[in-house]
Amino acid sequence: MKFLKLIVSATFVVVVLATSPNSEKNADKMTIKCLKEINGLKSLLSPDEWDKPENISKVKWFSFCFNKKMGYMNDAGEFQKDAIRKSLSDSHGQKTIDNLLKKCAVKKATPEETAYHYQKCSRKFV
């Protein structure tokens, strides 16, 4: 039951980044890998937990880990826009994707902050 709750929460968190069936399956795998790397982050996948001050640094790290493993960012925190476009193109129009990338794929002070901003911002578009 805990595993099912984890997958449901993880799917909610990453759905904006992985909307095709293959992307969703891969997103679930990458979510589990990032969770294992941080040990015990399961509860942080709940959207209610994302903005709590005591969780933000872990959530930022998780966001960066996930984006790297999905190929959406490189190790330097730079967006791989072609990979994002490919992932979203099956379920979203070009205009939506362009707007999302313009407003959400914005470099911040650190790669973790950049990834965190992207995930929060992209929920508005997809």
Does some domain include residue 46? no
Question: In this model, does residue 4 exceed pLDDT 50?
Answer: no
Does some domain include residue 97? yes
Domain count, the chain: 1
Does some domain include residue 26? yes
The model's pTM is: 0.78
**Domain range for residue 81?**
2-39+53-122
pLDDT 10s digits, 19-52: 555 677 888 899 889 988 877 667 777 878 888 8
Does some domain include residue 44? no
CATH code where residue 33 lies: 1.10.238.20
16-19: which pairs have CB atoms within 8 A and are 24 or more residues apart? 16/119, 16/122, 16/123, 16/125, 16/126, 17/66, 17/67, 17/70, 17/72, 17/84, 17/87, 17/119, 17/122, 18/70, 18/87, 19/87, 19/88, 19/90, 19/91, 19/92, 19/126
Does some domain include residue 107? yes
Does some domain include residue 27? yes
pLDDT 10s digits, 67-103: 999 999 999 999 999 999 998 998 899 999 999 999 9
